[in-house]
Structure 1
Amino acid sequence: MDLLLDEWLMTSWGLVMKYLLVAGLAYLLCYIILKKVLIGRKIQKKLPKPADYQREIGYSVLAMLIMTASAALNATVLLPYNNVYFGIDTYGWGYYLFSFVWMIALHDTYFYWMHRTIHHPRLFRTFHLVHHRSTNPSPWAAYAFHPLEAILEGAILPIIAFTLPIHWSAMVMFFIFSVVHDVYIHLGYEILPSRFHQTRVGRWINTSVAHNQHHRHFGGNFGLYFTCWDRWMGTLRSDYDEAYTKATPQRTVLDAATVTTPSVSGPSGGL
């Protein structure tokens, strides 16, 4: 029991610190330092209120304390039974890289169907309404889940560990990747290039715009890392392309400030 508690304290502390660092840096850059430069890439022009930030941080920290319990169980009580291993030579680097990609694909699939399920009218208010109180999300909303949803979110870790052999460090990298990605899709700004969503790769990537639409309209765009399941199941919002184009002007405020003569060859204004 002492080992389980120590593991939980260490894991939860690590995840909370990663969240505060990544979300804090994103907030500092986008909402303070580069606020004027990135104004054209703000998906919803209004800014959240201070009370929204406080709520998002509070629920995020609580949710992470719950979610990391499954990681602690994986590393202690469940370790003799799951597929977590410690020597990279056991399967080699090729498998190590494959397992990381596998974790992302499995998590994306699990999240899509879990997410759609808790949008059912009988489940939404209990499980998911807390997260959707952020109709105009900020980086702090990345893990702003109700405790019951946090249990479902954390369940992916034992699912991964019991599905295929996973090196412990690959799972740590997965944690870090997830934090960075979750902050990005809740950023409130689109930082990817204009027309990225129309490229061969970009059309399959879940963007900040796509997830922002989900928060704003409470439906469609259920995916996490990719748009694959949304496209296959017909749940990608029909106005996604339009919303992405609107949020990614080809000329930002910084670009406009360096131009003295306006262009006459295209639409006026870059915002």
Structure 2
Amino acid sequence: MSLPENLPLFDKIAEHMLDVMYFDLFRYIVTASVMFAIIVIFKGWAERRRIQERRAKREDYLREISSSIRTVFFFGITTLSTLFLREAGIIRFHFDSFPIAIMLLQAVAMILAHDTYFYWMHRALHTRALYQATHLHHHKSRTPTPWTAYSFSVWEAIAEAAFVPLYLLATSLLGVAYIGMAILVFIWFQIIRNVMGHAGVEVMPAGWVDNKWVGWINTTTHHDLHHSTFNHNFGLYFTWWDRWMGTEHPQYKERFRAVAKPLVVSPRLAEKLSVVMMAGLASTVTLSGGLASMVA
């Protein structure tokens, strides 16, 4: 397929390639920083809910942050490629006016599709043929921290980033023009859930795994057990695939109950929490608005 001679959007994005990289980098930094700040500021709460006795070391933090910067580069390349394919008419998405209900439906569909993609991609990376070259680097973080979220090898970063263009290509071939805001909702949901899964302390409330309405949503303990045992809990957002495929850790609920202590919220604690969350929300809105205006 020949590409159009004039690609104004691609030219615009190419000129601002660093802006695209900054968006992915600061999305990671803001989310990981908010989670890290919560753990530091609410130290008593975090210590009561710490999943492992083992602690990450200084070299672990340095490795995670440096490799995450590398991951951001490949994510940025994927963003540029996706925008180029959009301008070429191969991928369809827009930021025009849209019904909120349709946008939310598309975001949910993308999240469900990504959960499936991630589970099977993740299991593939654990095979003997691929593990050492792709996923071993991520598992060097035996005790995860919020900064582990993007700590990937080059090949895993590419596999992780491939989902968005592949998904949008599939929906475009089916005649679905995706709403750009649905994609933004998805990518923020993805990084927030990813950081939560690597927090090292359980963030979900007591009783979560025993509640039929939310028990199928993954907890920090769920993914933390994957880092400490390697052969269980491959899912990202939900427990469905692990349950269906028999890969859920047999002691998952027991381990969760042991660390998920009830939260007692004092006025001082509530004040600290509101400040941290408002700072994170303000950063999220600013960064998302900047990207949307750039590609609209």
TM over 0.5: yes
Matched, 1:112 2:124: no
Task: Give the superposition deviation at 1:121.
Answer: 1.1
Aligned partner of 2:276 in structure 1 is none
Aligned partner of 1:23 in structure 2 is 32
Which of 214, 228, 236 is the equivalent residue of 1:224?
A: 236
Q: Normalising to structure 1: TM-score of the pair?
A: 0.87
Which of 108, 112, 129 is the equivalent residue of 1:101?
A: 108
Matched, 1:153 2:160: yes
User: Which amino acid is 2:110 matched to?
Assistant: M
In structure 2, the residue corresponding to 1:191 is in which secondary structure? coil
Which of 22, 41, 52 is the equivalent residue of 1:44?
A: 52
Q: Deviations over 1:217-244 (max 9, x none)?
A: 1111000111111111111111101110
Q: Deviations over 1:32-63 (max 9, x none)?
A: 22222321100112321111111111111111
Query: What is the alpha-carbon distance in structure 2 between the residues aligned to residue 24 and residue 120 of structure 1?
Result: 33
User: Which amino acid is 1:216 matched to?
Assistant: S
Gaps of at least 5 residues in structure 2 are 1-9, 172-176, 267-296
Aligned partner of 2:207 in structure 1 is 195
User: Which amino acid is 2:238 matched to?
Assistant: F
User: Which amino acid is 1:51 matched to?
Assistant: E
1:39–1:253: 8 Å Cα contact kept in structure 2? no
2:51–2:202: 8 Å Cα contact kept in structure 1? yes
Aligned partner of 1:83 in structure 2 is 92
Task: Give the superposition deviation at 1:96.
Answer: 1.3
2:48–2:259: 8 Å Cα contact kept in structure 1? yes
Query: What is the alpha-carbon distance in structure 1 between the residues aligned to residue 138 and residue 154 of structure 2?
Result: 11
User: Which amino acid is 1:35 matched to?
Assistant: K
Which of 216, 240, 260 is the equivalent residue of 2:252?
A: 240
Which of 60, 63, 69 is the equivalent residue of 1:61?
A: 69
User: Which amino acid is 2:201 matched to?
Assistant: Y
Query: What is the alpha-carbon distance in structure 2 between the residues aligned to residue 7 and residue 98 of structure 1?
Result: 31
User: Which amino acid is 1:159 matched to?
Assistant: L
Name the Cα RMSD after superposition: 1.9
User: Which amino acid is 1:65 matched to?
Assistant: F
Task: Give the superposition deviation at 1:84.
Answer: 1.2
Query: What is the alpha-carbon distance in structure 2 between the residues aligned to residue 206 and residue 214 of structure 1?
Result: 12
User: Which amino acid is 1:10 matched to?
Assistant: D
Matched, 1:34 2:38: no
Per the alignment, do residues 201 and 163 of structure 1 end up closer, same or farther by CA in structure 2, a change over 3 Å counting? farther
User: Which amino acid is 1:224 matched to?
Assistant: L
Q: Normalising to structure 2: TM-score of the pair?
A: 0.80
Task: Give the superposition deviation at 1:72.
Answer: 1.3
Task: Give the superposition deviation at 1:11.
Answer: 2.0
Q: Percent identity?
A: 33
Task: Give the superposition deviation at 1:151.
Answer: 0.4
Task: Give the superposition deviation at 1:21.
Answer: 1.3
Per the alignment, do residues 130 and 253 of structure 1 end up closer, same or farther by CA in structure 2, a change over 3 Å counting? farther
1:12–1:64: 8 Å Cα contact kept in structure 2? yes
Q: Deviations over 1:101-141 (max 9, x none)?
A: 00100100000000000100111010000000001000000
Task: Give the superposition deviation at 1:253.
Answer: 11
1:136–1:188: 8 Å Cα contact kept in structure 2? yes
User: Which amino acid is 2:53 matched to?
Assistant: K
Task: Give the superposition deviation at 1:78.
Answer: 4.1
Kindly tell me the number of residue pairs found equivalent between the two proteins.
Answer: 251
1:37–1:253: 8 Å Cα contact kept in structure 2? no
Query: What is the alpha-carbon distance in structure 2 between the residues aligned to residue 230 and residue 124 of structure 1?
Result: 19
Matched, 1:206 2:218: yes
Aligned partner of 2:227 in structure 1 is 215
Task: Give the superposition deviation at 1:178.
Answer: 1.2
